[in-house]
Amino acid sequence: MRFITGLIVGIILTVGAAYVVDAMHTAPGPDGREARRMVNWEVVSDNMRDLSASVQQGWHRLTGAADRIDKQTGA
């Protein structure tokens, strides 16, 4: 349990540190004037939204299957 908790905290710290560094430092754009971020956070947000929807759909499928089994067995 401690390993999983440490793993989750490590992931959160890594993503948080990347966000802070990216917010503080920007790379020059193609024309040398425009500053741009290293990470496209809109893409990250879209990917997280898709992942969340997929996990929710899978969870509903699993719990729905459990409800159907309970109804069939009469439990």
Rounded to 5 degrees, what are φ and ψ at 74? 80, 15
Torsion of CA 66, 69, 73, 75, to 10 degrees: 20
Residue-wise pLDDT tens digits, 15-44: 999 888 877 766 665 666 656 666 777 877
Q: Which residues contact 24 (CB under 8 A, 6 or more apart)?
A: none
Residue-wise pLDDT tens digits, 37-46: 667 778 778 8
The span from the CA of 23 to the CA of 20, in Å, is: 5
